[in-house]
């Protein structure tokens, strides 16, 4: 084999590696853009939303609507757990889409896979900014009106034992009061306060797996 043939093979191999690397980078960028601005998928890992969502249910959560509308009462949302410090009025805010992309690119630039260090919860929106929430006699009141909750199991009991909030409670501006459908086994706004709008990732719109639970939420 001539030296030219060896050189050509080396060049071909090098160009192939570069091409594969470019394809991987492009695929990762597309994935980042989709997750930051369009849709995300999640797997439910707790029983806090039973029987609406079961453990290991896989969800499709749309992100795009967050940029055009506010969450509505009754919607199921995914958000970054704020780790609220009630006494000092401090909350941990999630990365916005631009920060998220920069975070991922920083890791990729170091030849590492990004680590998702934000804890994400799925709950139902009960109170909007400015709403006054009260819970008494196993009933949730919003602005002095009892709300209908057909999504709850008939045996579910809604209580305020162990709550860090005092009821009636008025939801602050830019915040949302959320609860799990499995009220007796849910770490939610009663336990750690409200969710800042910045932490909301999007609305969960359907279960796509397992097929026995397939359906719109």
In the block, residue with structure tokens 């939610």? 188
The pLDDT of residue 149: 96
Which ranges in the chain belong to alpha helices (H)?
3-37, 97-109, 189-192
The pLDDT of residue 20: 79
The pTM of this model reads: 0.81
In 3D space, the residue among 119, 170, 109, 107 whose CA is nearest the CA of residue 142 turns out to be 170
Catalytic residues: 48, 123
Give per-residue burial for 23-40: e unless 16+ CB within 10 Å, then b.
eeeeeeeeebeebbeeeb
On the 0-12 / 13-18 / 19+ scale of CB atoms within 10 A, 113 is exposed
The pLDDT of residue 36: 66
Taking the domain 66-204, which CATH number applies?
Answer: 2.10.109.10
Write the DSSP symbol of residue 53.
S
pLDDT tens digit at each of 217 positions of the chain: 455 555 566 676 677 777 877 777 777 676 666 666 678 899 999 999 999 999 999 999 998 766 678 999 999 999 999 987 776 778 888 777 677 777 777 877 787 777 777 899 999 999 999 999 999 999 999 999 999 999 999 899 999 988 999 999 999 999 999 999 999 999 999 999 999 999 999 999 999 999 999 999 9
The pLDDT of residue 167: 96
* Residue extents of the structural domains in the chain: 1-37, 66-204
The pLDDT of residue 32: 64
| CA triple 135-92-117, angle to 5 deg | 115
In the block, residue with structure tokens 């109170």? 127
């Amino acid at each position: 084999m001539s030296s030219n043939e060896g050189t050509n093979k080396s060049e071909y191999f090098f160009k192939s590696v570069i091409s594969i690397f470019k394809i991987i980078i492009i695929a990762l960028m597309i994935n980042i853009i989709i997750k930051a601005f369009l849709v995300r998928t999640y797997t439910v890992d707790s029983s806090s939303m039973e029987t609406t969502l079961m453990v290991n249910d896989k969800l499709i959560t749309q992100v795009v609507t967050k940029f055009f509308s506010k969450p509505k009462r009754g919607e199921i949302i995914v958000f970054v757990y704020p780790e609220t410090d009630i006494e000092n009025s401090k909350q941990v805010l999630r990365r916005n889409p631009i920060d998220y992309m920069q975070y991922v690119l920083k890791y990729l630039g170091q030849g590492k896979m990004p680590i998702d260090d934000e804890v994400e919860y799925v709950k139902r929106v009960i109170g909007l900014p400015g709403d006054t929430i009260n819970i008494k006699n196993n009933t949730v009141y919003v602005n002095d009106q009892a709300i209908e909750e057909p999504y709850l199991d008939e045996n579910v009991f809604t209580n305020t034992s162990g709550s860090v909030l005092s009821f009636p409670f008025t939801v602050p501006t830019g915040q949302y009061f959320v609860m799990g459908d499995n009220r007796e086994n849910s770490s939610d706004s009663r336990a750690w306060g409200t969710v800042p709008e910045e932490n909301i990732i999007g609305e969960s719109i359907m279960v796509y797996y397992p097929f026995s639970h397939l359906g719109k939420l």
